[in-house]
Structure 1
Amino acid sequence: MMPLIRLTSLAFVAASTLLVSCSSPLRNLEPEPVDLPPQEWFNQSDAVTPAADWWRQLGSDELNGLLDAAMQGNPDVQIAVERLTAANASLRQSKADSWPSLSARVGASQRRNLDESDAGFANSSSLSFSAGYEIDLWARRATDIDSAELALESQRLALRSVEMTLTGQVVQQYIALIAAQESLRLANSNLAASKELERIMQVKFEAGVVSGVELAQQRNTTLSLLSRLAGLEVSLANQKRALAFLVGSQQLSVPEVVMTLDELTLPSVADIQPAQLLTQRPDIQQAAIALWQSHASVWQAETSRWPSLSLSAGLSASDVLSPTGWALSFGESLAMPLIDGGKIRAQIAQAESAERVARIEYRTTVSAAMVEALDALSELDYQVHELANSEAVLDNNRRLLSLAQIRFDSGDTDFTNLLSAQRTFFSAQDAMISARQSYLLALVSLYLTLGDIPRA
């Protein structure tokens, strides 16, 4: 009997293996075409060529260290990693459903006939094995596996998206922190210069060279700088805490940042054709995956009204310790819904509607990406010119202040002109810091729009 059992079992498994090879409809699904804009829209000489590790082009080891820490300690990254792990487990579960099920059961019972008062309990036991398998006639399980693989890839893209977003946030916050430190150093320098000029004005006032009005005006400048200095100190503390939070520091502290905006390397610019780069954006790829998954849902809803075929086999014995009375059984069942009150039709209509929504969302995502890319390129062009203009304004006001100081010292002009030149120069210095910061932030925005970072 046992050879027959083995032969029958092998035949059962072989038949199941052959039938499990049904192909999922997603295997032959063509990717949704992307309607990219004309290439000439993106041909801009001041655009930046995206790089996988674009942040390293800034030449800051401090920033590299902060990003390494952020990828390990940031809670958003940790959550995305766990979701990727869960999606991988879900895929393994879907693949496991493709195998026949096999189970064993051991039972024991005691029975006593109440009509026979002298009779004791009679013991009995049983041992059974059962196997079952539902034939994947319409590639439902194959579609489930493909959908699970798509879900896993979507989570990989979600992790990349979180890492890209975090990278941009850390770089932006790092630049903001450097700018805040430079503004604070500049404010201290301007305050020292203002106090020195106020001291000189006090001496001249006591000598009767200048009036009390002019001395009071300079005093106002000093007081204004003191007020600005206090605000900058608070802002700098906030910037440090914000960066520490992004990095994932439990103490809300980060190592001392010593670099300046001038020391950051500005990446070289080049002509690019970035329209195709939009297709590598995680949000566009995720939208495409969502569209494919919605197509799978339509297929699965439609197959719900088709027949299903299941196979089963069983092997049992009447005694556990000394198996006897072996029995072998086979079964086949074919089932299909006949009357369901329109439930399956409603499920199909719901799935088809969801697919149309996914198609609209995909096109909307592509269009939004194009707008974002064009805006980023335009902003970079604007900031290039603003940076050059700020440099020219600063140089001009530096010369103006020097000339005003010379003329005032020689008595050719009054203090009002010197005070005006001083305030304009201070303002030009602040504007220069803001221009450098804005230019760097425009670069970051462009990288995040067109660039990418390595997969985890």
Structure 2
Amino acid sequence: MRTDYRWLPLACLVGAGVSLIMSGCTMGPDFRHPTIAAPDQWSGPSAANPAASVAVAEPIDPAWWNSFGDPLLTELVTQAIQNNLDIKVAAARLAESRAQLGQSRAAEFPTLDGNASYTREFQSPDGVIGLLGGTGSSTPGTSTNGLGGRQGGVPTQGATSSGLPPFNLYQYGFDASWELDLWGRVRRTAENASATAEAQEEARHDAVVSTTAEVARDYLDLRGIQEKLRITRENLAYAQRTVQLTADRAHHGLATDLDVANAQSQAASTAADIPQDEQQQAQLINAIGLLLGEYPQALAARLTAPSAAPVVPPRVPVGLPSELAHRRPDIREAEATLHAATANIGAAKADFFPKITLSGSVAIQATQFTNLGSWGARSYSAGPSLSIPLFEGGQLRATLALREAQQQEAAINYRKTVLSAFKDVDDALTGYAAEQRRRDRLDESVQASRRALELANKRYVRGISNYLDVLTAQKTLLTNEEQLADSTATVTTNLVALYKALGGGWDIAEAKVSDAAQ
């Protein structure tokens, strides 16, 4: 009797139709973008405490480092975007996550494998062949040719007392399988991988924001240290002239040896500050070099020469609070992580339900190589398989509880990230305005200290006052000048902190990062 296989294509179509109908059944909650209650406007300096450089609700300049008007700073930031190792690591992790996304999406499609093999086989007469028929080696002379003494098992023609003779087996064909994603397990897994890839992309954006801000901050700190070095060296030259002047006056009996000793002490104390500032200068150059992927002191020739400290612009565009979630990469990363955790819940719930897999194989199998082209050598199999979880020892429930707890953690982390972002911006705005007011007061103090030193020096030369007044005025002026240099540098670095808090820079650098990652 010939079996009719014409029903197989129809069965395949029915199975595919069932799969398409059931594909709408996806377990677990669907992800919804969280809403953020943002304030209407940023806080800023009050009218009673105005600042020279103020924040305005205007669109942010993506290339914010250009606002300092320093071509070298722009060059360093551009080089860091292309060569920074942290950015390269983040780009590599993004490539990994995208590859994993490809793996997850591949599970949505059928698999088809080709195979071919050749084997030389010998079947043991005491094994399966012995059960099906033939003469076993341990029971010589047995006439049984089938299981349980029945006839019609393995033909004895050509067989020996040791069973079937060795033979060759050639075969080639195709195997196919496809899991019917009835409950959305595969789709949820792919959704998780997609959200994870999105989170890695935002992590790369965050690396760009952090790197550009770090380069700018180190560069501005370097210029601040160089300004302090200039001030210290000028004060040292002044102190050395004072030592000479005091020594001349002591030689003529117009000053005491105590005045000379005090002048020498002040000069030595001023000179002692120079090595420390030079050390900080070298360390900052190395820090910038590391951010640019360079070896220590590779940038010394470009950065050691003093340059005027960059100035802040009079108006600083900061955009609107409602735009912060779109600009800050860490908020976007936290949202994508929450999305991935939500998708994992659906995948865990789908594991509670049966899995149906359609599988089939077509092969040509022959013991003679010349028969491999014969249609009579064909063999095939097709049919569904069903896997039902009956007892897992509580593993499935524990996995679901774990996924739900991870989603709760991701939701809390998202809220914390949002609150921290608004805090960063508010702190940066407050610090930027406050440091400008401090710098203005320190500038007034320096002007007054410089005038006091001039008066004290004139009174000492005329013999009206002793050298202690000059020494005190020198120390006060040096301290105030150093504080002014520190405050001026802090104003610029506070502006960098503000730009970083606003999440600026990654969008304009995206093309450069993509090119560098290839």
Scaled by the length of structure 1, the TM-score of the pair is 0.89
1:429 and 2:429 aligned: no
Q: Which residue of 2 aligns with 1:29?
A: 31
1:356-412 deviations in Å (ceiling 9; x for gaps): 222122112222222222211211121010111112112222222233333444444
1:300 and 2:351 aligned: no
Partner of residue 198 from structure 2, selected from 145, 153, 170: 153
Name the SS for the 2:442 alignment partner.
Answer: helix
Name the SS for the 1:225 alignment partner.
Answer: helix
Asked whether the 8 Å contact 1:91–1:152 carries over to 2, the reply is: yes
Partner of residue 256 from structure 1, selected from 302, 313, 320: 302
Asked whether the 8 Å contact 1:52–1:451 carries over to 2, the reply is: no
Identity of aligned residues (%): 25
What is the Cα deviation at residue 265 of structure 1?
3.2
Partner of residue 89 from structure 2, selected from 73, 79, 97: 79
Name the SS for the 2:480 alignment partner.
Answer: helix
1:276 and 2:322 aligned: yes
Change (3 A) 1:230 1:95: same
Whole-angstrom distance in 1 between the partners of 2:216 and 2:334 = 27
What is the Cα deviation at residue 31 of structure 1?
0.5
Q: Which residue of 2 aligns with 1:124?
A: 169
Whole-angstrom distance in 1 between the partners of 2:69 and 2:43 = 27
Whole-angstrom distance in 1 between the partners of 2:307 and 2:268 = 27
Partner of residue 245 from structure 1, selected from 290, 297, 305: 290
Asked whether the 8 Å contact 2:345–2:400 carries over to 1, the reply is: yes
Whole-angstrom distance in 2 between the partners of 1:119 and 1:357 = 65
Name the SS for the 1:39 alignment partner.
Answer: coil
Change (3 A) 1:168 1:353: same
Whole-angstrom distance in 2 between the partners of 1:118 and 1:24 = 56
Q: Which residue of 2 aligns with 1:383?
A: 435
Whole-angstrom distance in 1 between the partners of 2:27 and 2:37 = 24
Asked whether the 8 Å contact 2:23–2:182 carries over to 1, the reply is: no
Change (3 A) 1:271 1:188: closer
Change (3 A) 1:265 1:41: closer
Paired residues, what number? 454
Asked whether the 8 Å contact 2:114–2:175 carries over to 1, the reply is: yes
Q: State the AA in 2 paired with 1:153.
A: E
1:258-317 deviations in Å (ceiling 9; x for gaps): 676744131233575642243131221121112111111111111111222221222222
Structure 1 regions of 5+ residues with no counterpart?
none
Asked whether the 8 Å contact 1:278–1:450 carries over to 2, the reply is: yes
Name the SS for the 1:318 alignment partner.
Answer: strand
Larger C-alpha radius of gyration, 1 or 2?
2
Change (3 A) 1:115 1:156: same
Q: Which residue of 2 aligns with 1:289?
A: 336
1:425-456 deviations in Å (ceiling 9; x for gaps): 22221111101111111111111111321233
Q: Which residue of 1 aligns with 2:55?
A: 47
Name the SS for the 1:256 alignment partner.
Answer: helix
Whole-angstrom distance in 2 between the partners of 1:120 and 1:24 = 56
Structure 1 stretch 78-87 or stretch 270-279: which is displaced more? 270-279
Q: Which residue of 1 aligns with 2:373?
A: 322
Partner of residue 267 from structure 1, selected from 313, 326, 335: 313
Structure 1 stretch 71-80 or stretch 195-204: which is displaced more? 71-80
1:225-282 deviations in Å (ceiling 9; x for gaps): 1211222222222222222222221344214226767441312335756422431312
Whole-angstrom distance in 1 between the partners of 2:55 and 2:481 = 27
Whole-angstrom distance in 2 between the partners of 1:23 and 1:52 = 44
Whole-angstrom distance in 2 between the partners of 1:76 and 1:237 = 22
Partner of residue 420 from structure 1, selected from 465, 468, 472: 472
Asked whether the 8 Å contact 2:220–2:489 carries over to 1, the reply is: yes
Whole-angstrom distance in 2 between the partners of 1:371 and 1:351 = 30
Name the SS for the 1:363 alignment partner.
Answer: helix
Q: State the AA in 1 paired with 2:287.
A: A
Q: State the AA in 2 paired with 1:418.
A: V
Q: CA RMSD in A?
A: 3.1
Q: State the AA in 2 paired with 1:100.
A: P
Q: Give matches, 1:341-360, under 5 Å.
A: 341-360=393-412
Partner of residue 234 from structure 1, selected from 266, 279, 290: 279
Change (3 A) 1:451 1:267: farther
